[in-house]
Amino acid sequence: MDRMPQWADVVLIPLISLILAAILSALVILGIGEDPVAAVRMMVNGAVGSTYGWGYTLYYATNFMFTGLAVAVAFHARLFNIGGEGQAMLGGLGVALVCLHVPWPHWSVALVAAAISAAAFGAAWAAIPAWLQARRGSHIVITTIMFNYIAAAVLNYMLVTALRPRGSMDPATARFPEAVHLPTFQQIFSSAGQPLFRGAPANISFFVAVFACIAVWALIWRTRLGYEIRAYGHSETGARYAGISPFRITMIAMLISGGLAGMMAINNVMGEAERLVLNATEGAGFIGIAVALMGRSHPFGVFLAAILFGFLYQGGAELALWTNIPRELIVVIQALVILFTGALDNMVRMPLERLFQAIGRKRRDAGEGAPKPGPRSAQHEPEPEP
Partner 1 sequence: MTFMKSVIGAAGALALTAAAALAEPALIFDLGGKFDKSFNEAAFRGAKRWSDETGNSFLEIELQSEAQREQALRRFAEAGANPVITMGFAMADPLTSVAPDYPDTKFVVIDVSWLDVPNIRQVAFAEHEGSYLVGMLAAMASKTGTVGFIGGMDVPLIRHFGCGYAQGAKAVNPDIKIVANMTGTTPAAWNDPVKGSELTKAQISQGADVIYAAAGGTGVGVLQTAADEGILSIGVDSNQNHLHPGKVLTSMLKRVDVAVYDAMKAGENVETGVFTLGLAENGVGYALDENNEALITDEMKAAVEEARQKIIDGEIKVVSYYENDSCPVLSF
Q: Residue numbers of the site for partner 1 (CB under 8 A)? A: 33-35, 38-39, 41-42, 45-46, 56, 59-60, 152-153, 156-157, 160, 164, 166-172, 175, 199, 201, 268, 272-273, 275, 277-280, 282, 313, 316-318, 320-324, 326-327, 330-331
| CB of residue 6 to partner 1, shortest distance in Å | 36
CB of 141 to partner 1, least distance (A): 21
CB of 41 to partner 1, least distance (A): 7
State in angstroms the smallest separation of the CB of 115 from partner 1. Answer: 20
Nearer to partner 1, 84 or 201 (CB): 201
For residues 157 and 211, which CB has a smaller minimum distance to partner 1 in the complex?
157
CB 322, min distance to partner 1, A: 3
Query: Nearer to partner 1 by C-beta: 169 or 192?
Result: 169
Considering the complex, what minimum distance in angstroms separates the CB of residue 172 from partner 1?
A: 7
Indicate the residue type of 97.
L
Quick one: 156 or 357, whose CB is closer to partner 1? Answer: 156
Cα separation, 294 vs 338, in Å, equals: 8
Q: How many CB atoms lie within 10 A of CB 100?
A: 16
**CB-facing half-sphere around the CA of 37: CA atoms within 13 A:** 0
- Rounded to the nearest whole angstrom, what is the least distance from the CB of residue 202 to partner 1 in the complex? 10
Nearer to partner 1, 63 or 133 (CB): 63
Q: Which residues pair with 42 in a beta bridge?
A: none
Nearer Cβ to partner 1 (12/278): 278
Closer of 33 and 243 to partner 1 (Cβ)? 33
Q: 6 vs 168, which CB is nearer to partner 1? A: 168
Neighbours of 208 (CB within 10 A): 21
**Backbone dihedral angles phi then psi of residue 88, each to the nearest 5 degrees:** -70, -35
Strand partners, 203: 184
> Distance between CA 179 and CA 110 in Å, rounded?
8
Shortest separation between residue 82's beta carbon and partner 1, angstroms? 17
